A and B are shown apart, each in its own frame.
Chain A
Amino acid sequence: MALEAEIKVFNENIEEWLKHHSGKFVAIHRSDISGFFDDAEAALVSGLENWGNVPFLIRRVIREEPIAQIPALFLGLIHAGA
C-alpha cells in the first residue's frame, strides 16, 4: 500500500502532535518529518525540497479527517454531456 510507513508514523504521533501542532500540516517520507506548516502548499514545497518528486504524505494534524463527498460522481448522477 502506498504511504503505509508514512501513515503509520502519523498515527503513532498524532496524539503528541495535537498538543503542539494542532491544525498544522505535516510532510512525512518514510520515518522522516520535514516539519509543520500553516498550509498544505508549504508542506508540499518542504517535501519536494527534502525528498524530491517522490511519494510522501501530507496530512493535517487533526484527530479525524472528514470523509470527502463527491455525491454526483459516486451516485452516478453526472451528466456532463457529450
Chain B
Amino acid sequence: MPVLNWHPPLLPGGQQVLAERGPRVPVQVSVHPKVQETLTSTGQAVPSSIGGFALIDTGATITSIDQNAALRLGLQVVGQRTVGTAAGPSERFLYPFSVRLLPFGLDLHCVSGMGVDLSGQNIIALIGMDLLHQGVLTINGPMGALTLSF
C-alpha cells in the first residue's frame, strides 16, 4: 500500500488548517467507474466531475454525498438506508460514486454512499468509516499533516 502525505498550507493568519477546519480535503466527486463504463459503452455522455471539499469523518459509519451533487451527476439510486438523526431514524437514498482526494491522487469508490443535504457546510462529501476502514489514516497534529495509506 502506498503511503500518501499531504501538508495543507497554513491559513492566512498562520493557523494550521487541520486545527481550524478539520481534515477537509479538496476532492472531485464523479460517477462510479463501473457506471462510467456502462455509459461509455452505450454511447451516453458521462457527467463531468464536481469539485469541492470532503470532510474525513471518523464518526460516520457511511460515506455520503451532497444530494444536489448526486442529482447533478445523474446518479441512479441503488438503495435506501436508515440513518440516525436528532429527530429519530430517517430514510435516505444510496448512490454509487467516486471521490478523488486531489492532494493524495487517490480515488475511493463507493457503491452505496448516502445522499444527504450538505448545503451550507462548504463540503460536498463526508468520507466515513465504510471507506476509511480499508486503509490507514494518520493525523499528525504537530506537523499539520494527513497521511493515508490505501
Chain A contact residues, CB within 8 Å of chain B: 2-3, 7, 40-41, 43-45, 47-49, 52-59, 65-76, 78-82
Residues of A within 8 A of B61 (CB): 66, 68-70
Known A70-B128, A73-B126, A79-B22: A3·B57 in contact at CB below 8 Å:
no
In the complex, which of the residues B55, B78, B111 contacts A57, with contact meaning CB atoms closer than 8 Å? B78
Question: Are A65 and B59 in contact (CB-based, < 8 A)?
Answer: no
In angstroms, Cα B79 to Cα A80, docked, is: 28
Interchain residue pairs with CB less than 8 A apart (15):
A41-B34, A43-B111, A44-B78, A48-B38, A49-B38, A53-B38, A58-B111, A65-B81, A67-B82, A68-B61, A70-B126, A71-B84, A72-B60, A73-B121, A82-B122
Within 8 A of A (CB), among B51-93: 53, 55, 57, 59-62, 64, 76-86, 89, 92-93
The answer to whether the Cβ of B133 comes within 8 Å of any Cβ in the partner chain is no
Closest chain B residue, CB of each to CB of A10: B79
Residues of B within 8 A of A66 (CB): 61
Extra 19 A-B pairs, beta carbons < 8 Å, given A2-B80, A58-B79, A78-B123:
A7-B80, A44-B32, A44-B111, A48-B37, A53-B42, A55-B78, A59-B79, A68-B84, A68-B92, A70-B61, A72-B57, A72-B60, A74-B84, A75-B86, A80-B21, A80-B22, A81-B20, A81-B22, A81-B122
Is chain B's binding surface mostly helix, strand, loop or mixed?
mixed
Among B99-107, B112-120, B136-144, the stretch in contact with A:
B112-120
Chain B contact residues, CB within 8 Å of chain A: 20-22, 24, 32, 34-35, 37-39, 42, 44, 53, 55, 57, 59-62, 64, 76-86, 89, 92-94, 96, 109, 111-112, 114, 116, 118, 121-123, 126, 128
Residues of A within 8 A of B89 (CB): 67
In angstroms, Cα B81 to Cα A58, docked, is: 11
Closest chain B residue, CB of each to CB of A47: B78
Question: Are A70 and B83 in contact (CB-based, < 8 A)?
Answer: yes
In angstroms, Cα B64 to Cα A45, docked, is: 21
In angstroms, Cα B112 to Cα A44, docked, is: 9
Question: Are B55 and A78 in contact (CB-based, < 8 A)?
Answer: yes
